[in-house]
Amino acid sequence: MPFYAGVSRTGALLLAIVLIGVLMFTTLSAQPDEGTPAVRLFGTSRISSQYADIRGAYQALPVSFARWEFDPSIAFWGIPFSGHLFLTSERDRFGETINTANFNFSIRSSDLQQYIRQRVEDKITSLRAEAETAATSDTTLAPVQAATDTLRDQAQQIDDIRQEAEQQRSTVEQKIAQLEALRDIRDSRLPEQVKQLEQLGVISGTEQFLLNFPYIGIGMNHPSYSPLTLSGLAVNGLDMEFNPGKFYLAFSYGTAEKPVQTPARITPATPVDSLINPDSLVNRSYDRKVIAGRIGYGRKGGSHVLFTMLHARDDAASVAFDTNNIVLTPKENLLMGIDVRILGFDENFTLDGELVGSVLTDNAHSAPLDNSDVPSFLTDLIEPKMSTHVDYAYALKFQFALPESYTRVSGSVRMIGPGFSSLGVPFLRNDLFRYEARIDQGFLRRQITVGGFYRHERDNLIPWKRSTTTLDGYGVNAGLNFRDYPYLQVLVAPYLQRNNAEDSTYKLNNKTLLVSAATGYSWRIGALLSTTTLSYGLQTSTTQRAESDFRSTTYSLNQSVGFSFPLLLSAGAGVTAQKYTLIENNILFVDGSASYTFADNWTTTAGTTFMSEENGKRTGYYISMSLPLWQLGTVDVRAERNAFNSAARLYLDAPPDEFIFRASLSTSW
């Protein structure tokens, strides 16, 4: 039985409510800071919609849809709590809703740190004004001194006033220096900085307490533990971090996937739809619960040693298992790892290391495995099956910078075993060994930059595949950015992919070359501001069998002119020459636009586009407006019309013309 089987949704919710209640009580019990409102509501809202008369080619978006993104926040005496809501009329390609209708209630120390930074700036400004007042004391005392030259008995009084003013000025200047040193609030030095900020009267004791919680979230969260354990996964439940001083604790629990059993039945409207929307699917997903925790010493953004554990399990009974289903099976995953970070040389040196072990059961319906060699503490957490496999992964990376010489060196090594899997990291590639290094050097205050990198990777870490594939790539880049001269950026990067297959049918020997260059310059011609950019791109690919060879060359030129009145004209043109083994295609594209801003920030833009290639042409024009609507927010509308003359449109049985209208209302308060 999983070790979290006794943790019910109700229990987790009650725990979260109690925790949030304690924090809110502590906050509301605090004395309000001078000039800070007790309660402040703020946030953003955006309502958007689209209407089109036909569905775009090769697009999964519906013809028409509407969305609402709502991010409300409330601050109790400057301490922010935030949330998120996303509603849409769209559905995924299997017909399921993709709304995020559950509210997030979260505390982010990063938001609070931003408030504190602004408060530091305000405090510095007020102290400087106080220092200027103290500095004028000598001037103020000058006429008094002249009037009392004959009054020796008041001379001592004047000296005392001057000495007091000097002490006040010295104290204020000392506070300013301390606050300026605390402008950059860093997570690695947060405990020491917070203590100094409290002594200087910038933050309250309640804020100092809440900074011990880098994040608390209820609802749809995206926990970020490490690249090999938990990252990029949406978890609907509870996520929290507790980091007082050098002690670190994190906990996450919730649902990563909902059970979906009903097959999707969608009739394809075009040949593309038949690929995007399969007409049936069995057991699309099971109910998957994820529980994870971290404990250790240090700060998450600073030096630390953290131990991580994650357990993810599909509920095999959440949907009826179909014996014909060989694609999707209920899985169970246990991860244990250690994460180490070392900072040095005023954080100019960073060393990160991670080692993780994984136990994955591919199919919970497979037969149990009775093996006495497996430690009992593991079998208590995950029951071994015939489909269970064990492996490990590690990652090591470093970065070193010399700001005085504009030098930066970095490198990394990563190994992910063939049997390693993490249900906490979607799309993690296994069976991989990779190392890479990079160096960047600047000269003349980074007006000249040069750099280079090298990368190597290979698979088939154990001989279980037909062959081993390797990839080697390197590149050099250079840049010139002198004031009053055109800038120039150049990159050249060749790659080589090959394998050691003996059968020529599976032999790989692919060579790819990437070259890019860009230059541009801005200058004034009277009251006009002109900006010109020119870019060049080249991509070539040669393969073991010449039928897959490819070459693409692109040239583009863009020009914009801004006038003294609010008019901006822009135009661009380019050409792309593509060559396959037996096919050549030349693409010409031209576009232009004009934008004018009326009174009250009402901006109108109109433009046109033209593209021509071997298979047809496309001509389009559009008009858009951005209009502030008093206290309601800003309204943005755009209408565009496109005309096609293409053989591909005929194949897709699509009309030659399309009309698209988009509108949105954005509000901030």
Return d(Cα 139, Cα 575) in angstroms, integer: 71
The answer on 346 and 396 residing in a single domain is: yes
Domain identity same for 198 and 256: no
pLDDT number for residue 278: 44
Which among 164, 193, 210 is the end of a domain?
210
Whether 325 is in a domain gets the answer yes
Contact criterion met (CB below 8 Å) for 441 and 453 = no
Q: How far apart are CA 352 and CA 411, in angstroms?
A: 11
Structure tokens, 555: 């040239």
Query: Rounded CA gap, 356 and 264, in Å?
Result: 38
Q: Is residue 453 part of a domain?
A: no
Question: Hey, how many other C-beta atoms are within 10 angstroms of the C-beta on 257?
Answer: 21
CA angle in degrees (0–180, nearest 5) for 319-320-322: 125
Short-list 498, 499, 563, 502, CA closest to 531 = 563
Structure tokens at 387: 């489909």
Residues 185 and 235 both lie in one domain: no
C-alpha to C-alpha distance for 375 and 334, rounded to whole angstroms = 14
CB 357 within 8 A of CB 394: no
Q: Give residue-wise pLDDT tens across range 155-166.
A: 555 566 556 666
Give yes or no: residues 231 and 307 share one domain.
yes
Pair 205, 233 in one domain: no
pLDDT of residue 547: 74
Bridge partner list, 622: 607, 640
Q: How many CB atoms lie within 10 A of CB 5?
A: 9
Q: Which region, left, alpha or beta, applies to residue 601 given φ > 0 means left and ψ of -120 to 50 means alpha?
A: left
Nearest residue to 253 (alpha-carbon basis) of 10, 567, 614, 530: 10
**Res 100: pLDDT:** 72
Query: What is each CA distance from 37 to 30, 210, 216, 425, in whole angstroms?
Result: 13, 18, 23, 42
Answer whether 604's CB lies under 8 Å from 624's CB. yes
Strand partners, 342: 351
Same structural domain, 203 and 348: no
**Do 430 and 419 meet the contact criterion of CB atoms below 8 Å apart?**
yes
Tokens of 593: 């636009």
User: Is residue 279 a part of any domain in this protein?
Assistant: yes
Q: How far apart are CA 499 and CA 459, in angstroms?
A: 10
Q: How many domains does the chain have?
A: 2
Main-chain dihedrals φ then ψ at residue 213, nearest 5 degrees? -110, 90
CA distance 275 to 268: 9
Give me the DSSP letters along 446-475. TTEEEEEEEEEEE--SSS-SSS-EEEEEEE
Question: CA-CA distances (angstroms) from residue 513 to 23, 450, 516?
Answer: 56, 19, 10
Distance between CA 612 and CA 538 in Å, rounded? 20
Flag whether 365 is in a domain: yes
Q: Are residues 205 and 219 in the same domain?
A: no
Residue 387 within a domain: yes
Last residue of a domain, one of 388, 403, 418: 403
Nearest partner of 467 among 495, 429, 508, judged by Cα: 508
Shared-domain flag, residues 131 and 268 = no
In this structure, what token pair is assigned to residue 249? 């604790």
pTM score > 0.85 for this model? Answer: no
Question: Based on the domain organization, do 249 and 130 belong to the same domain?
Answer: no
For residue 267, give its domain range. 213-403
Q: Per the domain annotation, does 488 fall within a domain?
A: no
Give me the residues of the chain with pLDDT under 70, please: 1-38, 56-60, 76-80, 92-96, 101-119, 123-124, 127-128, 130-207, 261-284, 321-327, 371-375, 377-380, 647-654
Decide if 381 contacts 394 (C-beta within 8 A): no
Q: What is the pLDDT of residue 417?
A: 95
Q: Residue 203, Cβ neighbours under 10 Å: how many? A: 25
Tell me whether strands 567-580 and 584-597 are parallel, antiparallel or unpaired: antiparallel
**Helical (H) or strand (E) element with 647:** helix 647-651
User: What are the structure tokens assigned to 472, written together?
Assistant: 């080697």
Per-residue model confidence (pLDDT) at position 194: 66
Q: Rounded to an integer, what distance in angstroms lies between the CA atom of residue 362 and that of residue 369?
A: 13
| Amino acid in position 259 | P
Write out the H or E segment, with its range, that includes residue 560: strand 550-562
Reduced to 3 states (helix: H, G, I; strand: E, B; else coil), residue 286 is: coil
Specify whether the CB–CB gap between 245 and 440 falls below 8 A.
no
Name which of 256, 283, 271, 220 is nearest 94 in CA terms. 283
Boundary residue ending a domain (403, 432, 447)? 403
290 and 307 fall within a common domain:
yes
Do residues 153 and 275 both lie within one domain? no
198 and 218 share one domain:
no
Asked if residue 301 belongs to a domain, the reply is yes
Is residue 240 in a domain?
A: yes
Distances (CA, A) of 501 to 460, 465, 498, 505: 12, 10, 9, 9
